[in-house]
Amino acid sequence: MDDSHAEGPHAAGYSLEDLAVGMSAAYEHVVTERDVVQFADISGDRNPVHLDERYARTTRFKGRIVHGMLSASFLSTTIASRLPGPGTIYLTQNLSFRAPVRIGDRVEARVTVTDIIREKARVVLRTVCRVGDTVVVDGDALVMVPARG
């Protein structure tokens, strides 16, 4: 079951005019075995470090790890459903994978508005995924946000 939350009451999202630097929202998800298997099936990424415990134990991770892009996909969820919200279009995303995520980990994906380019309807977001206090994915995104007018 997903445990999600966001700061702000806007289920329909925010218009460009409603955004301010410093606004933040988050989405949380506990990664399951099923998530990893389905992501492998959908993406075609069948690296044994994600799917084969015996193999994964021989790696530097000493066990299976979740696909980095699965963890990063929760940033897309946060952007599309929380901040800025529905209608937002991804333009760029930079990612650094900092630490492994394991099955059973609760990943918090948080986005924070760092800049607004109003004349181009663009918003720069800091994008961070954490497991507890550990940053597992760090980056930034540029998105196009619908204006009211």
| Domain assignment of residue 44, yes or no | yes
| Domain assignment of residue 27, yes or no | yes
The enclosing H or E element of 137 equals strand 134-144
| Domain assignment of residue 124, yes or no | yes
Q: What is the pLDDT of residues 66-94, one digit of tens each?
A: 999 999 999 999 999 999 999 999 999 99
Tell me which residue range forms the domain holding 115.
Answer: 16-144
Q: What is the pLDDT of residues 33-52, one digit of tens each?
A: 999 999 999 999 999 999 99
Torsion of CA 84, 87, 92, 97, to 10 degrees: 60
| Domain assignment of residue 5, yes or no | no
- pTM for the model: 0.91
pLDDT band at 57 (very low <50, low <70, confident <90, very high): very high
CATH of the domain at 95: 3.10.129.10
- Render the burial of 61-73: b for 16+ CB within 10 Å, e for the rest: eeebbbbbebbbb
3-state secondary structure of 115: strand
Domain count, the chain: 1
DSSP 122: E
| Domain assignment of residue 107, yes or no | yes
**Is the pLDDT assigned to residue 4 strictly greater than 50?**
no
| Domain assignment of residue 4, yes or no | no
